[in-house]
Structure 1
């Protein structure tokens, strides 16, 4: 890490708690690799105090923030400008300070989109099936519709009212047709058959329930690309079954890294040193 001086540019994490976060190690290694006079620190901010903390960011001239749970909505309500995609998602996870004007972004969906494009699975003009109607699904669906519109998106979830609410919200962001369905075999199998890309955003298959999956192996095929947002384990049962069927797979780790790359580039204006950031994450998994 470079010497910290009065001219050091500060970026930070706001969350509660923050002790488990890999973000300081990831971003400080990246700053160091490029010889940038930046430092990244973690702040445990009490819920309800995010507005006050952001006033401190303006006063002390912090360059940028990562924002994690439970502060993503409260932070959006207290910045000066919200990026249109983040506005559509309904929360932010990144802040950039330009001369005291705080702009909020959401890099989660862009991280997933970049991971798909890097894996030669660009969702533009494709049929996409998203499994889950939670926060990650919302971030990805809104980002796709606004920035790389698929031909059609199907959103599958276990609670119909929640699915239909998300369908309506995503539909309002662009012209891509959005439909909803349940997770039962009768509803889900036709959507799997129609999909070019499947994006799994639920916790199913996460450690310690590593044998679980929402998609039977027999439904998978060679021409599918499957992204699983779960990254513990890195190769979930869904991804292993997809590989066995000859399909293309994208690990959840790529979304986690992708959102960090986006944050780094928003703060510094320089390409993220991806290999350095990847090594930090992989060494801690």
Structure 2
């Protein structure tokens, strides 16, 4: 029963933090160290991440279907962009191609980075500093996006430049645990010209679907080949998967509503507090 409760708590933490710009890695590390929940297996990590991805797929299921239909020219999508404008088939095709470009950039650079072994270890100090510096990055990005919106008007369009930079941002977030994939992609989009928070967030979440599915599948193949699956606690795995999916669904729906009338400042402040809390966990001189 204790293991099931631990799995439930970790699934809830993953679901809440995976798509909010506050770093799921930092929170899971805090749960491991501070709450004594123990180290997670690779397969368990895959399970809770897959649950979070499933939630986003369910939220954007109609959007994904309409983009797919528009891409293949099978009728005009009934969907709308975050600014409320109907998307024509040509616009849907361009949007889908930009998602493909962003994913392609991430895939190519991600495989290169993995082959070269460029990734910081998931340890307290680097994650804490990534949280703090990421908070500064968030405030700066939103400030400059607001200034640009005042000068040039609010922009919901995702440019090709934004698509490429978002793809790069996903790789950077993977190299620096604690950065937060959603934070990196949302605020790169804001800095690169998409000044509408809802539009930047939607693109970040949509590109996260194929990216996270690909990363999860890649890791799953490694786990199955290594034989780790034979020793997995499948009851705990199932509990964590369901908990992650449900809480991610709620968290993302809430965030999409929240950003309609609020800035991301509260998340930046939270990152500062969490980063300092993680630094406080490290004994002096260690």
Q: What is the TM-score normalised by the length of structure 2?
A: 0.27
Q: What is the TM-score normalised by the length of structure 1?
A: 0.27
Higher RCO, Cα 8 Å, sep 6+: 2
| Higher relative strand content | 1
| Higher relative helix content | 2
